[in-house]
Amino acid sequence: MDSILSISEDVIGKSIDFIYQFIPLAESTVVLVPSFVTEQVLSLAEATGQDIETLNYILGMFMCYPLGIIMAMLPYGKSKHLFSFILGAFLLQFTIGKQWIHQLISSMLAYVMFLVLPAKQAKFYVPLMTMVYITLGHLHRQYINYLGWDLDFTGAQMVLTMKLYSMAFNLYDGEQLAKGTPDRAAKKCAPMAISSVPGLLEFLGYTFCFSNILAGPAFEYKIYENAANGSLMYTADGKPRGKIPGSLWPTLKNLLISLVCLGLFVVGNGAFPILDAADPQHSTPAVLTDEMLSKPFYYRYGYAWIALMFIRQKYYFAWKNAEGAQNIWYAGFEGFDEKTGEAKGWENSNNIDVITFETATNLKTLSGAWNKKTANWLARYVYMRTGGSLVATYGMSAFWHGFYPGYYLFFLSIPIPTACERLAKKKLTPRFSPDRFSLYGILSFLATSLVIQHMIMAFMLLSFEWSYNFLKSQYFFSHILCVLFYAVVSQIPTPKKSEKKE
């Protein structure tokens, strides 16, 4: 066994050394960020006490707003595509430096595959390539910096993976629809279908789209194309499809929400940290220190619940900030109703419904409100394409996130409350009022929050040891409660029509 491990270490080490020899070449491609900008940001980081990576990321997110204003003013067509690509590349170089090259390499690999492979083959090989690429990125990160939280290319690569993965199926669906032989999934996804491979400039404008390159949301090519070429709001002869709404409030609202969430994260995470603030990578997490474990159960659970609530603000900030940046140039606008000409809304870039998520009474509502575009991707291009396999869907989600054991402890736990929820829907829900403010609705909310807030801590702690010790310190109560609930409720007779709540 030792010899096998030694050989594996040797192979991995040599593979990494081989890739690293191209670092000087990658560094030579970072040409879009002037040196004086780098120097100014470094000075600002030193003055504010922020680490340079975090500061670069936050500044990059806010830069999308003035860039979005420029994007909105540019003529439709190639000028928007070129701007989207160049500024997306700039933001990557600004935030992750030489590692931006991974987005360019994987994008070009996919584009070549789209050009040379039949759509039926591309829908297999392009997703395979993107998943292999992100897998190698995750494994590399974990190998050289286990449990580290340093910013690298994998975050942006996860967004790109969804784009390229989706596009492969969009092209296949378009071909099947043109032939008149679409399967059930192709019919459902017809609005996102693409009739042909876009030009290189249009393709890069989409994959590097500046307003969602850093944090998503990763919507399909059709949405980007309609916003960039003007067809979202204008007919082929230049006439508006309806009364075009202003983008000021949809932009400003999300910007303000993102600022509030950023403030809550900074203050709340400082007061209720999950990991050790001084050394989060190596020191015992704050939720597992001897001092914390000496506290009563209700205190430890309450602390974890509050800490997770503040951690979520980080994601709310990123997604709401990106949503506002998308809305500036109408990429988040849904267009007009074909019959009435009325504006539909601004859901194309909405990645999180904060209130809905925080007050969800069931897992379906909870998962539907969180990271919505990723949920759409999994539903359209994994769940539908595998005959409704939950194993494939949850497995892909875990695989896409990375390979820390905590991810898998969480995703493997989720089927347990899912089974309970389905049983309750069959046995209990028909007997009670479905209103969320009813006693049943309130109890459903409390049960959903109680269980998920416990299980999801493994997702944040990452390592198996930390995740297992946390669950053990709280007696695996959420898992045990679910098993007991299932055992008891399964004995209740399924209500007849006469027993159901009208």
**CA–CA distance, 249 with 244 (Å, rounded to integer):** 13
Q: What's the pLDDT score for residue 502? A: 45
**CA–CA distance, 330 with 250 (Å, rounded to integer):** 10
Kindly state whether residue 1 falls inside one of the protein's structural domains. Answer: no
Identify which of 212, 211, 79 has the alpha carbon closest to the alpha carbon of residue 155. 212
Q: What's the pLDDT score for residue 372? A: 93
What is the span of the domain harbouring residue 304? Answer: 248-499
E strand map for 340-422: none
Kindly state whether residue 359 falls inside one of the protein's structural domains. Answer: yes
Same domain, 277 and 403: yes
Same domain, 370 and 478: yes
Which pair of tokens denotes residue 496? 């007849």
**CA–CA distance, 40 with 425 (Å, rounded to integer):** 57
Same domain, 301 and 436: yes
Kindly state whether residue 234 falls inside one of the protein's structural domains. Answer: no
Same domain, 328 and 186: no
Same domain, 35 and 150: yes
Same domain, 87 and 210: yes
Decide if 462 contacts 406 (C-beta within 8 A): yes
**CA–CA distance, 294 with 88 (Å, rounded to integer):** 49
**CA–CA distance, 399 with 414 (Å, rounded to integer):** 15
Decide if 293 contacts 473 (C-beta within 8 A): yes
Decide if 243 contacts 341 (C-beta within 8 A): yes
- Please report which residue ranges of 100-118 form alpha helices under DSSP H: 101-116
- Residue 344: CA count within 13 A, CB half-sphere: 15
- Dmax (CA) for the chain in angstroms is 75
Name the residue type at position 275: L
Same domain, 371 and 340: yes
pTM of the model: 0.92
**CA–CA distance, 464 with 469 (Å, rounded to integer):** 8
Same domain, 75 and 180: yes
Q: What's the pLDDT score for residue 495? A: 83
Same domain, 142 and 253: no
Same domain, 225 and 314: no
Which residue do the tokens 């067809």 mark? Answer: 231
Kindly state whether residue 347 falls inside one of the protein's structural domains. Answer: yes
**CA–CA distance, 267 with 307 (Å, rounded to integer):** 11
Q: How many domains does the chain have?
A: 2
Q: In angstroms, what CA-CA distances link 110 with 74, 106, 400?
A: 28, 6, 18
DSSP 274: S
Kindly state whether residue 122 falls inside one of the protein's structural domains. Answer: yes
Last residue of a domain, one of 229, 263, 285: 229
Which residue do the tokens 């001897």 mark? Answer: 290
Kindly state whether residue 4 falls inside one of the protein's structural domains. Answer: no
List all residues 6 or more positions away from 197 whose beta carbon is below 8 Å from its beta carbon.
Answer: 111, 114, 115, 171, 203
Same domain, 197 and 69: yes
Decide if 408 contacts 398 (C-beta within 8 A): yes
Q: What's the pLDDT score for residue 307? A: 96
pLDDT tens for the 502 residues of the chain, in order:
556 556 667 777 788 888 888 899 999 999 999 888 888 888 888 887 778 888 899 999 999 999 999 999 999 999 999 999 999 999 999 999 999 999 999 999 999 999 999 999 999 999 999 999 999 999 999 888 888 877 889 999 999 999 999 999 999 999 999 999 989 999 999 999 999 999 999 999 999 999 999 988 898 999 999 999 999 999 888 899 989 999 999 999 999 999 999 999 999 999 999 999 888 888 999 999 999 999 999 999 999 999 999 999 999 999 999 999 999 999 999 999 888 889 999 999 999 999 999 999 998 899 889 999 999 999 999 999 998 887 888 888 888 999 999 998 998 898 899 999 999 999 888 888 777 788 888 999 999 999 999 999 999 999 999 999 999 999 999 999 999 999 999 998 888 765 555 4
Which residue do the tokens 């990321």 mark? Answer: 57
Same domain, 213 and 261: no
Which pair of tokens denotes residue 181? 């032989």
φ, ψ dihedrals at 343, nearest 5°? -65, 135
Identify which of 340, 351, 336, 361 has the alpha carbon closest to the alpha carbon of residue 424. 361
Question: CB atoms < 10 A from the CB of 487, how many?
Answer: 9
Decide if 173 contacts 186 (C-beta within 8 A): yes
Kindly state whether residue 16 falls inside one of the protein's structural domains. Answer: no
- Please spell the DSSP secondary structure of 221-242, one letter per residue: HHHHHHHHHSTTTB-TTS-BSS
Number of H helices and number of E strands within the chain?
24, 0
Kindly state whether residue 325 falls inside one of the protein's structural domains. Answer: yes
Q: Tell me the Cα Rg of the chain.
A: 24
